[in-house]
A = this chain, B = another copy of it.
Amino acid sequence: MEKYGGTSVGSVERIQAVARNVAEGVKQGDSLVVVVSAMSGETNRLVDLAKSLANRPSRREMDMLISTGEQVTIALLSLALEDLGIPARSFTGFQVPIQTDSVHGRARITSIEGDAIVSALDSGKVAVVAGFQGVSVDNDITTLGRGGSDTTAVALAVALKADECRIFTDVDGVYTADPRVVEEARRIPRITYEEMLELSGSGAKVMQIRAVEFASKYGVPLRVLSSFEPGEGTLITREENIMEQPMISGITSVDNEAKVTVRGVPDRPGIAYSILGPISDAHINVDMIVQNVSSEETTDLTFTINQDDLDSAMDLLAPVVRELEAETVVGDRNLAKISVVGVGMRSHAGIATTMFRALADKGINIQMISTSEIKISVTIDREYSELALRALHSAFRLEESAKKGG
């Protein structure tokens, strides 16, 4: 199973490069299923066409429209493969079929019938499958939402019991930190599903959470590789498959969050719900939530959201604050969230201490702290974001651990 994203198939030349890559695998005797995205830019072109025609385009018709992007790519890649003498057969979502529910724009896969693909493989063909799309029980074309092509690849790998699901992208693996910020950042040879989930959820853009969850649930080994350079990439697998586990796998930062603090809230049951209910009803995603233990009769509740949602959230909370007789509500766009992730936290004490000391040494003030079993996140002033990443990368010696972990 191989999956190529939009930039990997973004031009005729890149489609030819992918075809040569696939041909290599075929010559080594692999039975290959290849999942592809729309050529980069194509989905945006189609969305712009739709926006010029309708203010609130129906989701069904949007799926009908944008699913053509992947259909074009599967045909072109099949043609490129056949031109190299590699027999190929393209499959849209309905031809596999990839059955989904009927939630257009963010459908969930309900089942995959693998027979048609197996039959193509058995006849010596490469199966080229459109990512991101499926078909509902009503025979409607659906799309899976952001990162849908990764999900398609993993779901197909599960259905077809593939040995490995290789995700080809524009980076050559998962890094200990963003290499554009931290020069010493290293590619991680192996990482657990759990760590990958926390890294993805904390700002690493390599893989979509949904696909990793899916792979984790069914134990499909994932490998993130570059479509442009050779290399081993990063293997995402179960913890027991990783011999020597570093304490910390990686460090991430998120710069597009804002924080909302409701101060002086009377401390009684139901307060969190009163405040966060209206936010959730408005489909605003809340990330971190921190409520301090109150010493007086009031408490402060702070949460983070995407900064694009800050204005709406402030508007929504104004009447709530009055009703609750809270003191005030304040918003702040000027923050970054920094997370350290590693399953080693489970068995090693002192990770938090190391983290907090490293930040203190650089004079960086911590605003909020939130922890999970294998992650510690803090928010800080945004201008310290890059400094914090580098300080933590060095404090946890990630430039060494990644080398060792292979």
Contacts and interface: CB of A to CB of B under 8 A. Distances in A.
Given A64-B71, A75-B61, A49 B92 contact: no
Contact of A50 (B68, B75, B139): B75
Given A53-B15, A64-B71, A68-B68, A58 B76 contact: no
Interface stretch (A29-37, A78-86, A224-232, A237-245): A78-86
A95 interface: yes
A83 B139 contact: no
Given A68-B71, A90-B61, A53 B12 contact: yes
A58 to B, nearest CB: 6
A82 B82 CA distance: 41
A16 interface: yes
Interface in A39-58: 46, 49-50, 52-55, 57-58
A303 interface: no
Interface residue SS majority, chain A? helix
Contact of A65 (B52, B65, B75, B82): B75
Interface residues of A, number: 39
Interface in A73-117: 74-76, 78-80, 82-83, 88-90, 92, 94-95, 116
A141 interface: yes
A72 interface: yes
A376 to B, nearest CB: 46
Given A65-B72, A68-B72, A78 B50 contact: no
A52 B12 contact: yes
Given A71-B64, A92-B141, A58 B79 contact: yes
**Residue of A52, A75, A95, A139 contacting most chain B CB atoms (<10 Å):** A75
A78 B61 contact: yes
**Residue of A15, A53, A54, A57 contacting most chain B CB atoms (<10 Å):** A53
A380 to B, nearest CB: 45
A95 B140 CA distance: 8
A57 B75 CA distance: 10
B79 A12 contact: no
A390 to B, nearest CB: 44
Contacts of A15: 53
A65 B89 CA distance: 12
A58 B72 contact: no
A58 B78 contact: yes
**Residue of A58, A71, A89 contacting most chain B CB atoms (<10 Å):** A58
A62 interface: yes
Nearest to A141: B92
17 contacts: A15-B53, A16-B53, A46-B72, A50-B79, A53-B79, A53-B83, A54-B79, A57-B82, A58-B78, A61-B90, A64-B71, A64-B74, A64-B75, A64-B78, A65-B76, A95-B139, A116-B139
List 8 A-B pairs, minimum CB-CB distance, nearest first.
Answer: A65-B75, A68-B68, A64-B75, A54-B79, A54-B83, A61-B75, A61-B78, A53-B80
